[in-house]
Chain A
Amino acid sequence: QKEVEQNSGPLSVPEGAIASLNCTYSDRVSQSFFWYRQYSGKSPELIMSIYSNGDKEDGRFTAQLNKASQYVSLLIRDSQPSDSATYLCAVIASTGANSKLTFGKGITLSVRP
């Protein structure tokens, strides 16, 4: 059973702080990793993708991947109230048109003004 674990949360941080969201996965052959943001009642929106070990930065977001530890994280700098949402970690084991994403259960982030 391929699993994606997001066990921490809900998470509450003050505005301007760094929010750190963590995710672990069980399938060692996983190749692609994604963070989606989902506002209440809405569908997920892709905010970051990462494919190789290390850090990837995009604006206030930084994704970190460590394949040896089977760990992927998302850092949100200068957190804003508009960042309050559920963040879903998703992992894909193989490439190809029919390859499936496995989602974690999500971490709910609340940014306090």
Chain B
Amino acid sequence: GAVVSQHPSRVICKSGTSVKIECRSLDFQATTMFWYRQFPKKSLMLMATSNEGSKATYEQGVEKDKFLINHASLTLSTLTVTSAHPEDSSFYICSARGWGLANTGELFFGEGSRLTVL
């Protein structure tokens, strides 16, 4: 399967600071990248969908000014959690879909980034 790399895998920050998470598709060009959040013992919740060179589309209830998504190239998308607070502590996971897989819907996931806000 295709490889999606996510960095950092763990980050601890103080309340009020911003944290950037990178998601890279290593061996394919991603038409679309998706950002998910997962709280303990809960399922994945889609936060936003991003396409290269376009503004991200956010799901209802997700603050676009708080969760900044940049999709600068076909292999890189970033999620910045601005002014993070303890309630933002979660497991953030990116996923990517490549050319040719649009017809199957298959997604490949990054390793995830565990954010802890103190």
- Which residues of A line the B interface, CB within 8 A? 31-32, 34, 36, 41-46, 49, 51, 88, 92, 95-101, 103-106
Contacts and interface: CB of A to CB of B under 8 A. Distances in A.
A49 B106 contact: yes
Given A41-B91, A49-B104, A88-B43, 20 more contacts: A31-B105, A32-B105, A34-B106, A42-B111, A43-B6, A43-B110, A43-B111, A44-B93, A46-B1, A51-B104, A92-B105, A97-B51, A99-B105, A100-B34, A100-B46, A101-B46, A101-B107, A103-B44, A105-B42, A105-B43
B25 interface: no
Contacts of B97: 97
Nearest to A99: B105
A45 B1 CA distance: 10
Interface of B: 1, 6, 31-32, 34, 42-44, 46, 49, 51, 57, 91, 93, 97, 102-112, 114
Contact of B109 (A43, A96, A99, A100): A43
Contacts of A32: 104-106
B43 A103 contact: yes
Contacts of A104: 43
Contacts of A106: 43
Contacts of B42: 105
Contacts of A96: 102
A42 B112 contact: yes
